Amino acid sequence: MEKHLQKRVGKVIPFIQDGTYFFNKGVTCYRRRDLRKAKAYLQRAVQLEPEQSTFACQLAIVLSELGEYAQSNEWLLRVIEHNDDLTECFYFLANNYAHLGLFGEATKYAEQYMEREPDGEFAEYTLDLLDILTIEQDDDEWLNYDDMLMKQEQARTLLEKGEFQEAITLFEEMIEQHPEHWAAYNNLALAYFYQGNVGKARQTIEYILKQNPGNLHALCNDAVFSYYLQEQERLFSLTQSLQRVYPISFEHRYKLGVTFAIVGRYDLAFQWLRQLQRRGFEGDAPFYYWYAYAAYHMGYRMLAESMWNKFIALHPDKKGSEPWRYREQTIEHIQSLFAKQDVASSLYALYLISKSFMTNDCPFPKQSWSHPLLQQWNDYVYGHDQQVPTYIVDAHRIVTLLIQHNGFEYEPLYIAWFSFFVEAMKGIDSFSNHQAWAAAFEYMFRRQRGQRVTQRMLAERYGVSVATVGKYVKIIKQQWHE
């Protein structure tokens, strides 16, 4: 019996999926020209073994062939920073920068490759590239243009990282050099808005439309600002105007589609994004993200899942934020706020409904504990009453400002604001200075929690004077004391 058992015992070979395993899979897919799978495998390889320069270099080659030149260069620059013996990286960088229109950078890396490998594998291709870069080019003109594109790419990266002031400085430099570079103006407006400086964002948009009437990006940005500021009449007017626009370029169609998705017009967003896909637009991460949302809200669940899978392939860290899951979680959260049966939480729940377009999914519970103010707020959110009291509109805009500067995660601040508002409205006639109220209330809220903030900090954040913040802080202190 023992001998019989021994015969059946085989050698166990461990199956280890290390970086080399995924690298080899990626190279196999690359040779078969299945670039999407090659990219996925190689991303996994560099994630497991980030020190392997060969893995990163191969990933950069695949990204370049997919047309993702900027992402490819990020990996190539990372490689040569730690290992400049892989001289082919200099050629790949030159090629990528040429595709991006950054001819100065392309020339620089092409020349570096030729210095290191004058008889190298890519020498002939590099010489051809250098010839193309120098044909009929005026040095001063194209180097200035090259510098502008470099700054634009740097500023865009800063925006994505949330480094708004640094991005603003770069956009202002670009505008000083090129006073009619409207893309820089539009991005500057976005940077101001993300920073919380709504006034300067709006002034920038107004300047663009005055100097360049009909600028589509400016109109779209204006619509997005109006949406977040809860300016319903302005948003409706802008949306009506944008509905009549039929642009030729893919870029403008893309901008329209994403804008409509952001402001909740999923029908129009789906129309444009679907059309782009059918005409061969390959898309990027924001395209897949908003297309998934638009498709889901229009009832195309399978298409939404397909687009979301493409988005997750590019941003695995976003798994779990699917539009259908977000919707379910938001509904559950709103219902939990109503379940607390206190006025402040219910006001905030109604506010969330107004921002999420879920009026049909989250009906206001008609219960005996309802406060008269809740009914007025409910009518405002659901659009039942056109004659809305001014204090309701003011309170809504103040909490919107607070959220713009703190994000939806800082929920205790907003519920505290509503709690204060319910009592303060009994003795305060006007809440019309929205920025001042928001700055003063956030200052008081943070101070009460032991946070180190100053009135100057909040004044700069909300674009009001320190004296004005101090004045409203006194009003809030007096109200709380009473």
State how many domains the chain has.
2
Among candidate residues 139, 168, 197, the one where a domain is terminated: 139
Report yes or no on 227 lying in a domain.
no
The whole-angstrom separation of Cα 467 and Cα 455 is 9
Rounded Cα distance, 167 and 191, in Å: 7
Using a 10 angstrom Cβ sphere, with 0-12 exposed, 13-18 middle and 19 or more buried, the burial of residue 190 is: buried
Residue closest to 436 by CA, chosen among 394, 382, 479, 386:
394
Is position 265 within any domain?
Answer: no
On whether residue 195 sits in a domain, the answer given is no
Q: Which two tokens stand for residue 49?
A: 């073994």
pLDDT of residue 323: 79
Residue 31 in any domain: the answer is yes
| Residues near 310 by beta carbon (within 8 Å), at least 6 away in sequence | 283, 288
CA of 372: how far to CAs of 343, 353, 360, 376, 416, in Å? 10, 19, 22, 7, 19
Q: Which domain holds residue 69?
A: 19-139
**Which residue bears the tokens 């997919």?**
66
Is residue 79, in this structure, part of any structural domain at all? yes
Dist CA 397 CA 399 (whole Å): 6
Instruction: Compute the C-alpha angle 382/384/390, nearest 5°.
Output: 90
Output the six-digit token pair for 157.
């990266």
Pick the last residue of a domain from 139, 158, 179: 139
Query: 114 with 127: CB under 8 angstroms?
Result: yes
Beta strands in 216-361 (DSSP E): none
Residue 341, Ramachandran bin (φ over 0: left; ψ between -120 and 50: alpha; else beta): left
Residues whose CB falls within 8 Å of the CB of residue 65, separated by 6 or more in sequence, listed in order: 35
Q: How far is CA 213 from the centre of its chain?
A: 26
Question: In this structure, is residue 423 part of a structural domain?
Answer: yes
81 inside domain: yes
Q: Does residue 15 come out as left (phi exceeding 0), alpha (psi in the -120 to 50 range) or beta?
A: beta
CA angle 241, 247, 248 (to 5 degrees): 170
State the pLDDT at residue 135: 53
pLDDT in tens, 136-179: 344 444 445 556 666 777 777 777 777 888 888 888 888 887 78
- Specify if 431 maps to a domain: yes
| CA gap 101, 89 in Å, rounded | 18
Q: Mean pLDDT per segment of 10 residues, for the chain of length 482 residues?
A: 40 54 84 81 83 84 82 83 79 82 78 84 77 55 55 74 83 83 87 84 92 89 87 84 82 89 88 86 81 88 90 81 73 78 84 63 54 75 66 85 74 90 84 90 89 86 88 87 58
C-alpha distances (whole Å) from 38 to each of 26, 66, 308, 461 are 4, 11, 19, 46
What whole-number distance in Å separates Cα of residue 365 and Cα of residue 282?
A: 45
Closest CA to 70 of 154, 1, 134: 154
CATH code for position 34: 1.25.40.10
Three-class secondary structure of residue 264 per DSSP: coil
pLDDT digits 0-9 by tens, 224-278: 998 887 677 888 889 888 988 887 777 788 899 999 998 888 889 999 999 888 8
Task: For 22-66, give the secondary structure using H, E and C.
Answer: HHHHHHHHHHCCCHHHHHHHHHHHHHHCCCCHHHHHHHHHHHHHC
Distance, CA of 65 to CA of 26 (rounded, Å): 14
Task: Report the chain's terminal Cα–Cα distance, integer Å.
Answer: 90
Domain end: 116, 139, 162, which one? 139
The pTM of the whole model exceeds 0.75: no
Contacts within 8 Å (CB) and 24+ apart, 181-187: 181/148, 182/208, 182/212, 182/215, 182/217, 182/218, 183/152, 183/217, 184/152, 184/155, 185/218, 186/215, 186/217, 186/218, 186/221, 187/152, 187/155, 187/156, 187/159
* Burial class of residue 149 in the structure, from the number of CB atoms within 10 Å of its CB (0-12 exposed, 13-18 middle, 19+ buried): middle
Count CB-CB contacts under 10 A for residue 477: 12
CA–CA distance, 221 with 285 (Å, rounded to integer): 19
